[in-house]
Structure formats: structure tokens, C-alpha cells
Amino acid sequence: MKCSPSIRLAAAAGAVVLCWAYSPIGIHIGLQSYSPGHLALLRFLVASLFMGVVALFIGIGLPRRVDIPWLLLLGLFAIVFHHVALNMGQRWVSPGASSVLAQSTPIFSTLIAALWLKESVSVWRWCWVGVGLVGALVVIWGDKGLGSFKPQGLLILLAALSWSVYFTLQKHYSSRYSPLTIVCYTIWAGTLLLGVYGPGLGQAVINAPLRVNAAVLVLGVFPSALAYLFWAYVLAHTDVSRAVGVMYLVPPVAMLMAALMLGSTVTAGVLLGAAIVLTSVFAMRKER
């Protein structure tokens, strides 16, 4: 019995949410044995191998030589800067708080549009950008308490900024290559650049417990590879404006998964900050 297109679309969207909700949990477990750089490299070595197998079966186009520097730049922002900063920042905040802060990408996309691309930004959007940044600070403060606030947690906002730059650059190539082709070359380019963290990785893998290595393996296959394939399917079968609404489900699902898998709790401050951040993002996307 074949599933209807709407059921397949819902299943793909649900898979994306589950994959990306697991990401802060896998990072939390991985950081128990790996440095932020080693964790990022090992995660994307797994993702690169997986995407290589996918590319062999599905097939992707070769990049034009003139585009290689720009594809490396995509890997630099989407993989290197984003994930190293994310790993470093999550040493100071909980998985639930990390999932909320990672959803602040639209806030920084607005800043990039105004400051870098010189686009006109309405007063409405500027107001919600400010509200969103306040909400991000509330999340960090509420996560550990005012007395235990660590500015290192702000590195997750740097990761969101890097992701926004990646989205801006990616638009330049959306008409030249298929989504799968861009994903493959971005992951491979980022993994190549993460090679600077290679020294000592082999010994770290040997020393890490099986539980940690299993968590990193899942991290490399699902949030780093399969989620992008599912997301490409969703974007190919629905409007972007409708698809991005799925992302609002990632923080609450991540908090629930963290509670079940790690026994972590969510403070009232994190919930308040999450409400502020997600409301600001929703308000900006609903602007006519």
C-alpha cells in the first residue's frame, strides 16, 4: 500500500525535527570525551562517508572550477565556524537552551540583510530583532542562573550567525546546483577544512567509551546527513515559508528528548527566553 504524498511529506518533516532535536543531545554526550574541534571533525567524517555512499547511488553533478572557492566558503561557515562554535558554546549551556539559541538564525539573517546586503529592513523587523536578542540573553541567564552566567554560552549565537551567512551564500548557488549537490559539497568542503583538528583524533577515538562513540556516530548520520536529505525533500514539495514552520518544533522536542535521555530539567527562565525568541522569529517571518 502506497502512502499519499501528504503522509510522505509529514513523515519527512517529522524526521527532520527528530534528527535536529537530537543534535544538542549528541553534542552533550560527545563533549564528555572529545574536544569541540575533535567532535566536529569526527561527526563530519561520518557524515562525509555517508553522503559519499548516497552520491554514488543517486549521482550528483561535478562543480565548476570557478565555484570551488565559494563551495569551500560554504563549508567554512556551515560546518567549521558553525559547529565548532556550537560545540564550544554548549559546554556552558544545557541541550535544551542550545536548541533554542540555535533557532535565532532569522534574527541574524535580518542583520546581515541590512548591514551586508544593504537591503531595506522595516522598523517592525528591527524591533523584533531586538526582542529576539533579549530573549537569547534570557535563555542563557535562565539556564544556569544569574550567578552562574558564563559568557562562553554566547558562542552559540555566533554559531547561529555563521549559519545565517551560510544561508545567504547558498542562495547564490541554489539555481546552479541541486540541493543534494550543494549539501554534499558543503559537507565535504567543511570536513576538509576541519582537518586542522586531525592531530590526536585517533587516540581520542580509542580512549572514548563505546557509549560516546555510538552517540557521535548517530550524530554524524542523522542530524548531519539524513536530516539534510529529508529537508531537501520537504523543500522540493512545499513552499519554504510553510516548511520553516517545522523548525518551531525543534526546541520543545529537543527539551523532551534531553529530559528522557539525559534526565535534564528545563528551568522557567529557559522557557521564558524560548517563548521570546520563537515569538520574535515567528513575528519576523509573518511580516507582509
Averaged over successive runs of 10 residues, the pLDDT of the chain (288 residues) comes to 73 87 92 95 95 88 87 91 91 79 70 64 73 75 62 78 79 74 90 96 95 95 86 69 65 82 78 78 64
**63 and 173 Cβ atoms separated by less than 8 Å:** no
Residue 232 structural domain: 5-285
Residue 117 grid coordinates:
546586503
What amino acid occupies position 234?
Answer: V
Task: Locate 284 and state its grid cell.
Answer: 519576523
Total number of domains constituting the chain: 1
Give me the helices (H) in the chain, please.
5-30, 36-58, 68-75, 82-89, 95-101, 105-115, 123-144, 155-170, 179-193, 201-207, 210-221, 227-237, 240-243, 250-262, 268-285
Q: Tell me if the pTM is above 0.85.
A: no
Query: What gap in Å lies between CA 228 and CA 234, rounded to an integer?
Result: 10
Distances (CA, A) of 243 to 247, 266, 285: 8, 27, 12
Amino acid 236: pLDDT: 67
Q: What is the pLDDT of residue 20?
A: 87
Neighbours of 169 (CB within 10 A): 17
C-alpha cell at 232: 531537501
The C-alpha cell that represents 38 in the structure block:
575533535
Longest dimension (CA), the chain: 58
Question: 86 and 102 in contact (C-beta within 8 Å)?
Answer: yes
Beta strands per DSSP E along the chain: none
Cβ proximity of 75 and 192 under 8 Å: yes
Q: What pLDDT shows up at residue 149?
A: 57
Per the CB < 8 A criterion, the answer to whether 51 and 172 are in contact is no
Give the pLDDT of residue 75: 92
With beta carbons less than 8 A apart as the criterion, state whether 90 and 98 touch: yes
pLDDT of residue 205: 96
Among candidates 259, 262, 239, which has minimal Cα distance to 251? 259
**Rg (the chain; Cα; Å):** 19
